[in-house]
Amino acid sequence: MKFFPGFPASEILYNEDGSVKGVATQDMGIDKEGNQKDSFEPGIELLGKVTVFAEGCRGHLGKQLIEKFNLSEGKDPQQYGIGFKEIWEIEDKNHEEGMVMHTAGWPLDNNTYGGSFMYHAENKQVFLGYVIGLDYKNPYLSPFDEFQRFKTHPAIKKIIEGGKRISYGARALIEGGLQSLPKMYMPGALLVGCDAGTLNMPKIKGSHTAMKSGMIAAETIIENIKEKKNLSIYEEKFKKSWVYEELHRARNVKPSFSWGLILGIIFTGIDQILFKGKLPFTLKHKHADHETLKPANEMPKIEYPKYDNIFTFDKTSSVYLTGTNHADNQPVHLKLKDPNLPISYTLEKFDEPAQRYCPAGVYEVQKENDVNKFVINSQNCIHCKTCDIKEPSQNITWVTPEGSGGPKYGNM
């Protein structure tokens, strides 16, 4: 077995019959204008009898496969959230190793889906996080600032008071569950984990289900190669596994929160505690997340408090903690289908929400000689994929950047 760390798979390769042949890694050493630098190294082709795509939530190649092979046909639109996580080292007296806390709601309003987690880990550390559904409606909402504000709640503040923030991260999560799970096999390839959407949303846990889907994929490939069985057995095996049972039980939680926080909590209590997820119907996800924003002039502006640099911090100092370091002179990996749209349409209609939904401050609208200009600071991108999901016209596509310049989440 060979590993190629630091070489993203950037292209899907196909056989003449249309089946997946493998992937190509990215050419390295290309400058902003597309010219080869001294460090140029061409990408390589990695071919296999079966290719397994495991890029995590909103995979760049997975998204293309889902579209090309129409894998989401008959499924509900996929749902996403943006999750934030910080690690804090806290005072001994506030630390209770093993303590777990989950909350729903505050500081979000009742119509916006979100909740927090706090795990007291070893070495006086707490893992603190907040997840916000990307189906929110107000373009003035800033998920990053909601998370910062969350830490000022007295119940949280008293735990982290006197402590020190040591890590920050943000990443989209895939939340559609069973209703939105695409077909996971296609000629020559399989999707596993969050590239398909196997996360258990109410638990905010997807590592165990991703691993299990990978194990089922491995069994499938062995039977495919040795016994010439069709790759469709992957889904048959998946449906017989505990992952399917777990996702089936969880399936109605997320859609019920589209009725608001209170009704969502009441329904979830009945569904999960009384009926153990076995109610005889399945609620639907009605909209894709990029369709849910209302025009800015119909929504209230949100004024977020200033950062105090004790509990709350700005995006610049937060991104610094991620260790993100994209070389300046490389092609921008956030592609605009129409470069004029952010100013000519999205700014006017939605006050360009990319300025707020990006948790790394990549997008800015700057005035130059009194003319608005859309600026992409791609070197700050922490690869969360939120822009690719939430941009109302689907005008932004995240593609794999060169090398290993993304966030270094060693201890996350």
Ligand X SMILES: Cc1cc2nc3c(=O)[nH]c(=O)nc-3n(C[C@H](O)[C@H](O)[C@H](O)COP(=O)(O)OP(=O)(O)OC[C@H]3O[C@@H](n4cnc5c(N)ncnc54)[C@H](O)[C@@H]3O)c2cc1C
Residue 210 vs 261, nearer CB to ligand X: 210
Q: Does position 206 bind ligand X by CB under 6 A?
A: yes
Residue 205 in contact with ligand X, rule: CB under 6 A: yes
Question: Does 387 sit near ligand SF4 (CB under 6 A)?
Answer: yes
Site map for ligand SF4, 338-377, x if CB under 6 A?
A: --------------------xxx-x---------------
With CB under 6 A as the contact rule, the residue among 24, 66, 194, 253 that binds ligand X is 194
Site membership for ligand X, residue 9 (CB under 6 A): yes
Query: Which one-letter amino acid corresponds to residue 262?
Result: I
Which one, 133 or 359, has the nearer CB to ligand SF4? 359
CA torsion sign for 398, 1, 244, 264 is: negative
- Which lies closer to ligand SF4 via its Cβ, residue 200 or residue 379? 379
- Least distance to ligand SF4, CB of residue 194, Å: 15
Check binding of 386 to ligand SF4 (CB under 6 A).
yes
Q: Give least dist CB 375 to ligand X, A.
A: 25
CB of 170 to ligand SF4, least distance (A): 7
Q: Is 118 in the site for ligand SF4 (CB under 6 A)?
A: no
- Closest to ligand X by CB, 194 vs 319, is 194
Q: Which stretch binds ligand X (CB under 6 A): 32-40, 56-64, 144-152, 257-265?
A: 56-64
Distance CA 275, CA 279 (A): 6
Cβ atoms of 91 and 162 within 8 Å: the answer is yes
Nearer to ligand X, 181 or 341 (CB): 181
User: Interface residues for ligand X in 57-86 (CB under 6 A)?
Assistant: 59-61, 83, 85
Residue 151 vs 383, nearer CB to ligand SF4: 383
143 is a contact residue toward ligand X (CB under 6 A): no
Q: Which amino acid, 190?
A: L
- In whole angstroms, the minimum distance from the beta carbon of 336 to ligand SF4 comes to 12
Name the minimum Å distance from CB 129 to ligand X: 5
Q: Which of residues 151-180 bind ligand X (CB under 6 A)?
A: 171, 173
Partner that binds at residue 28, options ligand SF4, ligand X, none, CB closer than 5 to 8 Å by kind: none
> CA 305, CA 97: separation in Å to the nearest integer?
31
Please report, as ranges, the residues that interact with ligand X according to CB under 6 A: 8-9, 54-56, 59-61, 83, 85, 129, 171, 173, 193-195, 199, 204-208, 210, 400
Please report, as ranges, the residues that interact with ligand SF4 according to CB under 6 A: 334, 358-360, 362, 381-387, 398
